[in-house]
Structure 1
Amino acid sequence: MSVSTKIDFIYLSEPDMVRAGVTDMPACVDAMEEMFALLSRGDYRMAGTNNSSHGSLILFPEDSPFPNMPKPTVDRRFMAMPAYLGGNFGTAGVKWYGSNIENRERGLPRSILMFILTDTDTGAPLALMSANLLSAYRTGAIPGVGARHLARQDSRVAGILGPGVMGKTSLSAFIAACPGIDTVKVKGRGRKNLKNFLEWVRETYPQVTTIREVETNEELVRGSDVVAYCSSGATGDPSAYPHVERDWISPGTFLAMPALGNFDKGVEGPEVRKVLDYTGLYEAWFDEVPKPTHNSIPVVGMRFMDLVDEGRLTMDDLEDLSDIVAGIAPGRRNDEEIIMLSVGGMPVEDVAWGTVLYRNAIEKGIGVKLNLWDTPVLR
């Protein structure tokens, strides 16, 4: 019996991705929750020696004899993020992106991303996807998963630092998890982004009856039930990262930190629960970069890891969201707990959400079919 060697796959443009449901935040939160349960069981693989690496990053030197080599300016990078995810997903994939903060001057996003989903048996491509929205929604969904398990379910006031893409998706995820949110506080640097964010909230979430612009991080955090730090900036000097002080935080607050951030000594204390989205990710980073790691990787989870290295915390002081989702570890215990979640971002998230969207696209006939070959020239 002859077996066909023909391989077709689909290309999904950004409009195709929207039609396939990439902006459906409640569904994305569901997919991320399912993914975390698989992480807890170990039914996944990423790169690195512990199978949990964020990915592989190309770094550029300060001085190069080659005139066309990119300079290491702010957020200038190329990166590949591969992963396999089991369970009902059973797929593998890799996200590739280039990033340059100067893109904004060209009217482009800071990062431009593509994702390829592959069959885990043959390795053949299933889909090539525009991935800016894929990445934005899967990143924003993680604060939503955290809020499902760690925020007070009667939360009403959300504080968003950074009114850009991540601020929007984090707020969407908060509202998916805590539909009673009716007040939003926002702090941003640029008038254009703030205006855009305010218009977007009014159009997208009419149940939000109060939107307040605030001038300081303290105003943002004080009195908020859920908080997300989503602003971008240069890495290298943790004292310049947006920070949180313990005195600002009300009992019962849930803080999700999917971007650069820092905190004072009060937050180090045991009365603030410290949760990593996935411990293996931070262990991989800790092995991969110079110490202190928070200088290179600005998420608060790396500050937690540095404090462990300094003997000021232990690994037992850090909790794992995947175990909380799986029911192995407790979620919120009472209405007074203060909980801070570090969100690092993992390629298994792209695989999870990309698989859902690929299957939606196949079911709905969305996308452009492309042919790799009918018969390979070499085999």
Structure 2
Amino acid sequence: MLQNTRDQSPSDTAASTRIDFIYLSEQDMVRAGVTDMAACVDTMEEMFGMLYHGDYRMAGVNNNSHGSVVVFPEISPFPTMPKPTPDRRFMAMPAYLGGRFGTAGMKWYGSNIANRDKGLPRSILMFILNDADTGAPLALMSANLLSAYRTGAVPGVGARHLARKDARTVGILGPGVMAKTSLSAFMAVRPGIDTVKVKGRGQKNLDAFLAWLSETFPQITSVRVVDSVEEVVRGSDIVTFCGSGATGDPSTYPMVRREWISPGTFLAMPALCNIDEAMEAPEIRKVLDNPGLYHAWFEENPKPVHNHIPAVGIRWLDLVDEGRIAPEQLEDLGQIVAGEAAGRRDEEEIIIMSVGGLPVEDVAWGTVVYRNALEKGIGVSLTLWDSPVLR
């Protein structure tokens, strides 16, 4: 790493300006603990408390932007230019996190839903971690697992504070990667879960999820494949929607209807979601994982924003803008984690949490994994330079 140049003679300058960093492949990341969901949930919980107190920065003039994305035109005169197919994006997601982390970083996000036809993940991700003082690289990481686990850990943080302690039944829409990591987080904080209901679109994904579930959580003794969103929600103590899909028409997003929900249910929504009018009622608690992110989205996109950003929290901001709900209805997970607002207050209340995905989460979990790798001697050391040619 960059060495301290203080009190060194000019002859020592070349050695002091050498910068090394480590490269971590996906298997290196696994060995460094990226799949340790219990630790990831604890890290995300710590991070949310820091977010509430403001010790972070993300992109944009508001310091809360999700990132910067390349948008492709519907019609292009260039035959090799990518088409704007569903979930087609190139995106940069930078952030800084203070406290014991004290690092900055950026996830570089390439995605195309057609990747699945090639046997590849929908998204192919890399993450670079930087020294927050010099800007020097500390690590370049394979980031698919980093991103998946930090995303799933957030519903786990929500469940720790907002789900009933005796929760046993989880309803899942969309049996993909996000469903696996979200369920892993629920199991980490509510180990009494013994029943899962799941709905998927294709048999291949369902079969893969069921095989993973049997191998990973044999203590889940009741597993049922259901045919409707209503069956996912009815009778579930915890509900999560994890399916991908096209944005643009909120009427096509999976709907949550108040009449389906039992008293005491906690709903964590990290993917497309809409709600019926009865879910707008003030007695339904509405929690945002980070209000600043949603306000940034609201500032940056045409109205109604739910047409462009399918998170249910954006639907709530549209409703505030329309005067249909009061802004005071929207709660902050960070404030709850920090102990400055109530978590679950009783066994009957219904709580729905929107999960938007924050670049600062990658920095938090990436920093922990990087330090694990250093401690265990994992990764390939690479040299940026011995001494920079230009200064």
Q: Which TM-score tier does this pair reach, normalised by the shorter chain?
A: over 0.9
Shift of 1:292: 0.3
Shift of 1:68: 1.6
- 1:282 corresponds to which residue? 294
Correspondent of 2:118 among 88, 98, 106? 106
Instruction: Classify the secondary structure of the residue corresponding to 2:205.
Output: helix
Instruction: Classify the secondary structure of the residue corresponding to 1:211.
Output: strand
**In structure 2, how many angstroms separate the alpha carbons of the residues matched to 1:253 and 1:112?**
34
Q: Which runs of 5+ in 2 are unaligned?
A: 1-7
- 2:202 corresponds to which residue? 190
For the pair 1:337 / 2:349, whether they are aligned, the reply is: yes
Aligned-residue CA RMSD in angstroms? Answer: 0.6
Q: Which runs of 5+ in 1 are unaligned?
A: none
Instruction: Classify the secondary structure of the residue corresponding to 2:352.
Output: strand
**In structure 2, how many angstroms separate the alpha carbons of the residues matched to 1:267 and 1:25?**
31
- 1:20 corresponds to which residue? 32
Percent sequence identity over aligned pairs: 75
Letter in 2 for 1:176: A
Structure 1's consecutive aligned runs of 4 or more residues displaced over 3 angstroms after TM superposition are none
What is the correspondence of 1:275-354 to structure 2 with a 5 Å cutoff? Answer: 275-354=287-366
TM score, norm. by length of structure 1: 0.99
Shift of 1:17: 0.4
**In structure 2, how many angstroms separate the alpha carbons of the residues matched to 1:114 and 1:22?**
14
For the pair 1:148 / 2:160, whether they are aligned, the reply is: yes
Instruction: Classify the secondary structure of the residue corresponding to 1:53.
Output: coil
- 2:226 corresponds to which residue? 214
- 2:270 corresponds to which residue? 258
**In structure 2, how many angstroms separate the alpha carbons of the residues matched to 1:158 and 1:63?**
43
Letter in 2 for 1:313: I
Correspondent of 1:227 among 234, 239, 255? 239
**In structure 2, how many angstroms separate the alpha carbons of the residues matched to 1:271 and 1:192?**
39
For the pair 1:32 / 2:44, whether they are aligned, the reply is: yes
Shift of 1:328: 1.1
- 1:267 corresponds to which residue? 279
**In structure 2, how many angstroms separate the alpha carbons of the residues matched to 1:271 and 1:231?**
27
- 1:116 corresponds to which residue? 128
**In structure 2, how many angstroms separate the alpha carbons of the residues matched to 1:153 and 1:119?**
40
For the pair 1:201 / 2:213, whether they are aligned, the reply is: yes
May I ask how many residue pairs the two structures share in their alignment?
379
Correspondent of 1:55 among 44, 62, 67? 67
Instruction: Classify the secondary structure of the residue corresponding to 2:299.
Output: helix
Letter in 2 for 1:191: Q
Letter in 1 for 2:288: L
**In structure 1, how many angstroms separate the alpha carbons of the residues matched to 2:73 and 2:334?**
37
Please identify the structure whose Cα radius of gyration is greater.
2
Letter in 2 for 1:40: Y
Letter in 1 for 2:82: P
TM score, norm. by length of structure 2: 0.96
Q: Deviations over 1:16-50 (max 9, x none)?
A: 00001111100000000000010011000001121
Instruction: Classify the secondary structure of the residue corresponding to 2:63.
Output: coil
Instruction: Classify the secondary structure of the residue corresponding to 2:109.
Output: strand
For the pair 1:369 / 2:381, whether they are aligned, the reply is: yes
**In structure 1, how many angstroms separate the alpha carbons of the residues matched to 2:42 and 2:302?**
35
What is the correspondence of 1:80-95 to structure 2 with a 5 Å cutoff? Answer: 80-95=92-107
